[in-house]
Amino acid sequence: MDTKLIVSASPHVRSDETTQSLMANVIVALCPCVVASAIIFGVRALLVTAVSVVACVVFEWLYCKLLKRPNPISDLSAVVTGIILAMNVPVGMPIGQLIIGDLVAIIVVKQLFGGIGMNFANPALVGRIVLFISFAGSMNKWVFPDAAVDQLSKATPLAVADPSKLSLLDLFMGIHGGVLGETCALAIVLGLVYLVATKTISIAIPASYVGSVFVFYLIATKNLHSALVAVLSGGLLFGAVFMATDYVTSPFTLKGKLVYGVCLGIVTFAIRYWGSYTEGVSFALLFMNLWVPYINDLTRQTPYGYVKPAKKAKEGAGK
């Protein structure tokens, strides 16, 4: 009986997961943040999110249509970029300015570098930074919930002079000013639980990132309450869960993920604690995105059965 030997190309361990299914999981995980933003800031939060998603999808479709490339919008990555960017702007963000951020994210950062999997940084992250630099007034025009406590009426939590006066419960539930997605820690945690439970992401990066920031603040302030305020304030939790874990711009190995997370914590703490800019997450992420290739090289897994050349030579001489 004739038999045929079929040799498959590496990698030999395959998965049924597709880009579309992974992006769908991220969209589901983002839903609590979208719902919370609508409850906290009103219906306009949904309008901002919808416009951002539609703009990202349209820009990706138009670009690929004009260059006669395969249409990738079915992989849902543009939808994810649109939602994440929307969650990174205030509810009162002018629609025209938001669309400029979507254009930068999809065309400049993603498509001009070759499309999904080829971008040097998280597209939504760069879109946020461009909006912050170009339209600082709009990006810092905070809208506050009616239930917000008095000490938050003129500043976001990170800008409050005395963190000891801030309620941890208010911070956790999102009763304070900020951008759409970063205010409600509860919604972010729910998204994290879903992503980890579905094995969409590893807990390594969020845990090492948030944990290192907490430890650094605890050492610097010697105050548990202040350290918890630092964790629950600003974009730390949202960035750690939905932006630092981006497959393309984060390390491959567990060791690399832990190194990446701790380095993110160091840079974020340095910017927040010693710098004049209270929110350091965006710039820390962008800075560390550029170092990911080097982290991958330094933390590369040893191939099974590999023996170092020096060890081989030593064994040969002993025979």
Residue 34 lies in a domain: yes
Amino acid 198: pLDDT: 94
Most confident by average pLDDT, 5-14, 26-35, 167-176, 179-188: 26-35
Residue 269 lies in a domain: yes
Residue 212 lies in a domain: yes
More confident of the two residues 277 and 191: 191
Query: In three state form, how does the secondary structure of the chain look?
Result: CCCCCCCCCCCCCCCCCCHHHHHHHHHHHHHHHHHHHHHHHCCHHHHHHHHHHHHHHHHHHHHHHHCCCCCCHHHCHHHHHHHHHHCCCCCCCCHHHHHHHHHHHHHHHHHHHCCCCCCCCCHHHHHHHHHHHHCHHHHCCCCCCCCCCHHHCCCCHHHCCCHHHCCHHHHHHCCCCCCCCCCCHHHHHHHHHHHHHCCCCCCHHHHHHHHHHHHHHHHHHCCHHHHHHHHHCCCHHHHHHHHCCCCCCCCCCHHHHHHHHHHHHHHHHHHHHHCCCCCCHHHHHHHHHCCHHHHHHHCCCCCCCCCCHHHHHHHHHHC
Mean pLDDT of the chain: 86
Q: State pTM to two decimals.
A: 0.86
CA–CA distances in Å: residue 54 to residues 23, 43, 122, 192: 16, 17, 19, 25
User: In percent, how much of the chain has pLDDT > 90?
Assistant: 59
pLDDT tens-digit series, residues 74-96: 899 999 999 999 999 999 999 99
Number of domains in the chain: 1
Residue 122 lies in a domain: yes
Residue 83 lies in a domain: yes
Residue 204 lies in a domain: yes
Evaluate if residue 114 carries a pLDDT over 80.
yes
Average pLDDT over residues 12-27: 80
Residue 171 lies in a domain: yes
User: In percent, how much of the chain has pLDDT > 70?
Assistant: 82
Residue 69 lies in a domain: yes
Evaluate if residue 48 carries a pLDDT over 90.
yes
Evaluate if residue 305 carries a pLDDT over 70.
no
pLDDT tens-digit series, residues 216-266: 999 999 999 999 999 998 899 999 999 999 988 899 999 999 999 999 999
Domain that holds residue 104: 19-299
Instruction: Work out the pLDDT band at 148, boundaries 50, 70, 90.
Output: very low
Average pLDDT over residues 29-46: 94
CB atoms within 10 A of CB 11: 7
